[in-house]
């Protein structure tokens, strides 16, 4: 009879230990999920941020090249340098206007300048001040994230107009 009571007591203690162990584990999954979610969210945020920076930089490179190419093939009238520069600027702005729309600024954030200091050379320069108008809003303190993203994005392309201008006179 003593053996029966001791085994019953052991079984009861074991059952109460299993029940208390299960109740101790109730919040563990929530805590683990919180840690994993924070890490996952930061990785996802970084991918989106750097993906948009990369897309903006590539778009600015393409816009600068297209603007320079458009300035090279401009053939209206006497083919003045200012007309070529204006046409090159308009083509470049057309390619990067999505960046202005995404930045949601009241005025244009992307600036396109055409360097005409040399009459035989046309240079299209596109700059975007990323620090003052980020494409993805900063999470947390902006000073911490400004160390990880560029202050400005810049792209430039130049073309030699000597091959397009008529120097026969």
Q: Let me know: does 160 contact 121? Beta carbons within 8 Å.
A: yes
CA distance 71 to 74: 5
How much is the CA Rg of the chain, to the nearest whole Å? Answer: 32
Phi then psi dihedrals of residue 49, to 5 deg: -60, -55
Residue 135 is predicted with a pLDDT of: 85
Run of H or E residues at 36: helix 28-73
Spans of the chain, pLDDT less than 70: 1-25, 74-79, 105-108, 142-144, 163-169
CA distance 45 to 72: 41
Residue 168 is predicted with a pLDDT of: 47
Residue 55 is predicted with a pLDDT of: 94
Q: Let me know: does 114 contact 83? Beta carbons within 8 Å.
A: no
Contacts of 124 (CB under 8 A, 6+ apart): 63, 64, 67, 68, 71, 88, 89, 92, 112, 113, 114, 156, 157, 158
């Amino acid at each position: 009879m003593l053996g029966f009571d001791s085994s019953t007591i052991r079984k009861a203690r074991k059952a109460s230990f299993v029940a208390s162990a299960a109740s101790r584990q109730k919040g563990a999954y929530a805590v683990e999920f919180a840690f994993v979610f924070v890490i996952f969210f930061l990785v996802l945020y970084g991918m989106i941020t750097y993906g948009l920076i990369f897309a903006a930089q590539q778009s600015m490179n393409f816009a600068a090249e297209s603007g320079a190419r458009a300035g090279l093939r401009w053939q209206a009238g006497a083919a003045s340098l200012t007309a070529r520069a204006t046409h090159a600027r308009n083509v470049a702005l057309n390619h990067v206007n999505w960046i202005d729309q995404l930045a949601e600024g009241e005025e244009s954030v992307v600036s396109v300048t055409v360097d005409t200091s040399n009459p035989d050379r046309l240079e299209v320069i596109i700059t975007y001040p990323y620090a003052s108008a980020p494409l993805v809003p900063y999470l947390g303190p902006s000073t911490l994230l400004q160390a990880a993203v560029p202050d400005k994005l810049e792209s430039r392309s130049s073309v030699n107009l000597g091959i397009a201008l008529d120097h026969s006179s």
